[in-house]
Structure 1
Amino acid sequence: MLKKITGGVGRDSHAPPYNHNKIWTKSFIAAVIGVMILAIISLFVGVYDIRGQEDGWDMFFITRVPRTAALLLTGAAMAMAGLVMQLITQNKFVEPTTTGTMEWAGLGLLFVYLMFPSPTLMLRMLGAIVFSFVGTMVFFLFLRRVKLRSSLIVPIIGLMLGAVISAFSTFVGLFFNMSQNIQNWFIGSFAPIQAGRYEYLWIIIIITILIFMLASRLTIAGLGEDIAKSLGLNYNTIVLIATMLIAVAVGIVAAVVGNLPFLGLIVPNIISMFRGDDLKSNLPWVCVLGMGIITVCDIISRTIIMPFEISVSVILGTVGAVVFIIILLRQRRPRRLR
């Protein structure tokens, strides 16, 4: 029945042809091949001589393979989280960084360290997931109760909320002498990734499949609460499920890697410029582009001052900030023309 409803919406609103494009097009296959090439390059970039040392290939499977897998899974997770959040809120500037979700995840990690002096990765991940869910729901509830005239105000409010949570986390960390834990989280890096410390990231594949299965319902929810309810969709339930999936993805990334800014902002916006806003057809593209961007940033972070390494969040944050400014300028241009 939902497929019929979705089809009806498409006909009534004169949906453009990209909604019916096949996923495995020539351009998408080329993009996948490009990401595979980047992954191969990532496997052989590093200071340690894999081929010249006796234990080189052991280190290859202990560090290089897990790091590259973590790059691909993390890139897909953060880009996908941004896409879903933008669809639900009907705002192109919303993603885990601009809503305070990542800062809430950091607060969850700090809370776990306060409760358990030497927490396992599972405990840290659960704490980050729970606090990410709470923080995202707080942001969504605020948007539902306050009517904002400009879409530009939404990310500003989210950034302010994130700054407050970040400041509180820093204060608590200093008060309980745990500032080192907070500092490590703020510096999102793949350097510590190795076998045994990244396996939870494979859960992201399950999240991606679930979001793809819910794509039609999420697309209808993105039309607005009134329209979604008029089409027979339980709007609150689908938003709750989407928020839970986002919280799980962001929580896992926060616990394993750390803070990765702006990835969920730039990737969905780049894809929507060329393909529109259909979730089901854009999701594979968003995942692939997210993988490619974060892999490129990580390769740059490992080679720019070799043999030392810059945190990937520094490269990603710089690129994301530039793209964010460009998107803001594109949004303001039509108003000036009027």
Structure 2
Amino acid sequence: MPKNATAGVENNSQLQLYKKNKLWTKPFILVIIVVSILGIISLFTGVYDIWGQEDGRDMFFITRVPRTVALMLTGAAMAMSGLVMQLITQNRLVEPTTTGTMEWAGLGLLAVYLLFPAPSLVLRMTGAILFSFIGTMVFFLFLRKVKLRSSLIVPIIGLMLGAVISAVSTFMGLFFQMTQIIEGWFVGSFSAVQVGRYEYLWIIIIVTILIFMYASRLTLAGLGEDVATNLGVNYNRLILLANGLIAVAVGIVAAVIGNLPFLGLIVPNIVSMFRGDDLRSNLPWVCVIGMGTITLCDIISRTIIMPFEVPVSLILGTVGAVVFILILLRQRKSRRLR
């Protein structure tokens, strides 16, 4: 091939890579505008009349603003956790719900309630984070022992572990007469969010910054232990760091909001279909679309049977289950075409 042609191909590939990694593109700005509109709709959606009541302005800042902020932070946290887990496990069907991480967080909350009557939010968060980290590490230890690593085996292992932990939590709840705590945790909802009950969710911003700082190394870890080690990455230490960040994000959400299924599965898969698997360039997209997804589901949950409210976990679970099946069918179709 002539040198001029080779140089042209290289310049073209570099230009395409630059366009892919460029953040402030028209589609990304459009997504931000759509999510901002959803946030405004969330601020003014609800049964309480903030315009006609005397304390409407106070209620707006006590409940509506904290709820919308909590939606945005929670959506970013769960979508980001799913993206990191899918990358380091090399599996599209992995996220906190399909690995048992959320069930471990629920067990941590139950353990805190058993040890400390009427625990504070900090204690609940600590227990959820600690058990989330333990559960994620147990999942990865199981994964290392499994030689057959098909796309279905990995989430099946996680679902089985989650089912076992959920059974343990249910037994402990029945034995110690604390089933109400378990039931309240499984029904993830933002109805109780108000000033003084959501501020710890701001820690998620720190987690996002740390993940962005280690994005390149985490992308290398997604290539496998042997490749990452040959490229100079301390694979085991990086996996510990990733699991720790995931545990913090999931633990905070579990303690403040509750169980939010499939959010970490839907968003990263949608983004990866169009943008590939580069964590650094995909992370802003995943966070923003995660915000929009959960905000839209919460608006539906508040309006579908007004003046009553459906738990947002019900909407997420329904949508997530459909997307989960579609991903399975898509992977099956791609195998047939090979």
Identity among equivalent positions (%) equals 79
Aligned pairs, number: 328
> In structure 1, how many angstroms separate the alpha carbons of the residues matched to 2:212 and 2:196?
28
1:109-166 Cα offsets, whole Å, 9 max, x none, are 0000000110000000000000000000000111112112421111111111101101
Q: Which residue pairs with 1:168 in the alignment?
A: 168
1:71 aligns with 2:82: no
In 1, Cα distance between equivalents of 2:42 and 2:149: 45
State the match for 1:35 in structure 2.
Answer: 35
- Residue in 1 that maps onto 2:296: 296
> Would the aligned equivalents of 1:79 and 1:286 in 2 still touch at CA under 8 Å?
yes
For the pair 1:268 / 2:279, whether they are aligned, the reply is no
Give unpaired runs (5+ residues) of structure 2: 1-9
Q: How does 1:196-211 map to 2 (within 5 A)?
A: 196-211=196-211
Would the alpha carbon gap of residues 196 and 149 (structure 1) be closer, same or farther in structure 2, given more than 3 Å must change?
closer
Give the whole-Å Cα distance in 1 for the aligned partners of 2:176 and 2:236: 39
Give the C-alpha shift of residue 262 in structure 1: 0.2
Match for 2:63: what amino acid? T
Structure 2 residue 126 is matched with structure 1 residue 146: no
The 5-angstrom pairing of residues 241-252 of structure 1 reads 241-252=241-252
Q: Does the 8 A contact of 2:50 with 2:59 survive in 1?
A: yes
Residue-by-residue CA offset, 1:79-133 (whole Å, 9 max, x unaligned)? 0000000000001110000000000000000000000110000000000000000
Which residue pairs with 2:125 in the alignment?
Answer: 125
Structure-2 residue corresponding to 1:95: 95
- Say if 2:201 and 2:253, in contact at 8 Å, map to a contact too: yes
Task: Tell me the distance in 1 between the aligned counterparts of 2:334 and 2:40.
Answer: 42
Alignment of 1:235-246 (within 5 A): 235-246=235-246
Distance 1:135 1:64, change over 3 A: same
Alignment of 1:302-317 (within 5 A): 302-317=302-317
Query: C-alpha distance in 1, partners of 2:137/2:14?
Result: 33
Assess if the C-alpha contact under 8 Å between 2:20 and 2:275 holds in 1. no
1:17 Cα deviation from its structure 2 partner: 2.5
Counterpart contact for 1:18–1:276, Cα < 8 Å = no
Instruction: Give SS of 2:65's match.
Output: helix
3-state DSSP of counterpart to 2:119: coil
> CA separation in 2, counterparts of 1:18 and 1:148?
37
2:271–2:286: 8 Å Cα contact kept in structure 1?
yes
RMSD (Å), alpha carbons: 1.7
Per-residue CA deviation, residues 301-328 of structure 1 (Å, 9 max, x unaligned), is 0000000000000000000000000000
Q: Cα–Cα, structure 1 residues 256 and 169, in superposed 2: closer, same or farther, change >3 Å?
A: same
Q: Is the 8 A contact 1:19 1:281 kept in 2?
A: no
- Structure 1 residues 133 and 208, CA gap change in structure 2 (3 angstroms): same
Aligned-pair CA distance for 1:335: 2.3
SS of match in other structure, 2:326:
helix
Note the C-alpha offset of 1:21. 2.3
What's the counterpart of residue 277 of structure 1? 277
Equivalent residue number for residue 109 of structure 2: 109
Instruction: Name the CA shift for 1:18/1:324 in 2 (closer, same or farther; >3 Å).
Output: farther
Paired with 2:252 and 2:14, the residues of 1 have a C-alpha distance of 39
SS at match of 1:192: coil
Residue in 2 that maps onto 1:180? 180
- The CA distance in 1 between the partners of 2:309 and 2:252, in whole Å, is 23
Tell me, what secondary structure is at the counterpart of 1:23?
Answer: coil
Distance 1:118 1:142, change over 3 A: same
Q: Give yes or no for the alignment of 1:287 onto 2:265.
A: no
Cα distance in structure 1, aligned partners of 2:171 and 2:158: 20
Q: Does 1:218 align with 2:218?
A: yes
Q: Tell me the distance in 1 between the aligned counterparts of 2:31 and 2:195.
A: 28
Structure of larger gyration radius:
2
In 2: Cα distance, 1:15 partner to 1:219 partner: 21
Q: Secondary structure at the match of 1:266?
A: helix
Q: Which amino acid aligns with 2:286?
A: V
What amino acid maps onto 2:285 in structure 1?
W
Aligned to 2:7: none
Give the CA deviation at 1:250.
0.1
How far did 1:15 drift? 12
Whether contact under 8 Å (1:105, 1:128) holds in the other structure is yes
**Matching of residue 83 in structure 1 with residue 83 in structure 2:** yes
Output the amino acid matched with 1:177: Q
Which amino acid is the alignment partner of residue 88 of structure 1? I
Equivalent position amino acid for 1:172 in 2: M
5+ residue gaps, structure 1, are: 1-9
Q: Could you list the structure 1 runs, at least 4 aligned residues long, displaced by more than 6 angstroms after superposition.
A: 13-16
1:334 Cα deviation from its structure 2 partner? 2.3
User: How many Å separate the matches in 2 of 1:15 and 1:314?
Assistant: 44
**Residues 174 and 333 of structure 1: is their aligned pair in 2 closer, same or farther, counting only changes over 3 Å?**
same
Q: Any conservation in 2 of the 1:104–1:135 contact (CA below 8 Å)? A: yes
**What is the distance in 2 between the residues matched to 1:23 and 1:135?**
34
